[in-house]
Structure formats: structure tokens, C-alpha cells
Structure 1
Amino acid sequence: MTDADVTEIAVQTMTVGAKVAAPVLLTALLVGFLISLFQAATQIQEPTLSFVPKMIAVSIALLVTGNWVLAEMVSFTEHLFDSLPHLLGRT
């Protein structure tokens, strides 16, 4: 296993991690932004007004994208396990 192989695996891991986390993080970001706009416009400063809608939206995002997230993770893991003989020098 060379330094290039380790770097390639690290880049692939971070890419898959970003793709998998994006739906949940973007949903929380969008809902948090909309709630903060609403709070600024109405001057309602209730902490649960921010937390509960975000929790519900993230749960829905996980339900909607969960199958795709799992498929991406399984695909990446299978690809990594398939490339182990090559990485260990046993082609």
C-alpha cells in the first residue's frame, strides 16, 4: 500500500461522508434559516420554536434519503473490501 493509495482512500472517504451528510445538514440549515427569519420578523424568541421544526425536518430528511444513504455506504464499503487484495499487494 503506497502513500497514493492511502490518500485516495482518504479522499474517497471524505467525499462519501460529505455526500451522505449533505441532505441532513442542508435540511437543518435551511429550516434553521427560515425559522430565524420568522423569529426576526415577528420578534418571537422562543428556543423551542427553532428546535422542534428542525428536529422534525431532519427526521423527514432521514426517512426520505435513508435508503440512498445506506446504499452509498454499502457501495463504498464493498468497493473498499474489493480493492483490499490490490492494496495489500496481492493481485
Structure 2
Amino acid sequence: MDATDAVEMVRQALWVALLISAPVLVAGMLVGLVIGFLQALTQIQEQTVAFVPKIVVMAIVLMITLPWVLIQLLEYSHEVIANIPAML
């Protein structure tokens, strides 16, 4: 295993991490923007108002995408394990 193989493995790991975290983070960001917009319209400046909807939506998105996340992690794990002999 040389440096390019190691860099490629780290790149793939970062890509998988970004891919599996994106749905939850995007959902939280969108809910935060909508709640922030509604707070600006109604002039309610309470920080806890935005917290509960974000947590609920992020939990729902996580439950919905969990099978896909597990598939992505399993595929990456199988690829890494299959490449172990080439690393030695």
C-alpha cells in the first residue's frame, strides 16, 4: 500500500461520511431556516422555539434514511475489507 492508496481510502471514507450525514443535516438546516423566517415575521426571538422542531424533523429523517445509511456503510466496509490483502 502506498500513499495514493491511503489517500484514496481516506477520500472515500470522507465521501461516505458526507453522503450519509447530508440528509439529516439538510433537513435540519431547512427547518431552521423556515423557523427562523417565521420567528422574524412574528418577532418571536425565543431560541427554544426552533430547537424542538429541528430535533423532531432530524429524528424522522434519520429513521427514514437509516436503511440507506446502513447499506452505504456496509458497501464501504465490504470494499475496505476486500482491499486488505492488497494493503499488505
TM-score band by shorter chain is over 0.9
- Gaps of at least 5 residues in structure 2 are none
- 2:3 is matched with 3
Cα-to-partner distance string for 1:23-62 (whole Å, 9 max, x where unaligned): 0110110000000000001101122210000000001000
Which residue of structure 1 aligns with residue 40 of structure 2? 40
Unaligned runs of 5+ in 1: none
Q: Alignment partner of 2:44: what SS? A: coil
Any runs of at least 4 consecutive aligned residues in structure 1 with deviations exceeding 2 A, and if so which? none
1:78 Cα offset (Å): 0.9
Query: What is the rounded CA distance, in whole Å, between the counterparts of 2:39 and 2:27 in structure 1?
Result: 18
CA distance in 2: counterparts of 1:87 and 1:8, whole angstroms: 12
Instruction: Provide the identity percentage.
Output: 38
TM-score by length of 1: 0.94
Instruction: Please report the TM-score for the alignment, with normalisation by the length of structure 2.
Output: 0.97
Corresponding residue number in structure 2 for 1:82: 82
> How many residues matched?
88
Q: What is the RMSD of the two structures over their aligned residues, measured on CA atoms?
A: 0.7
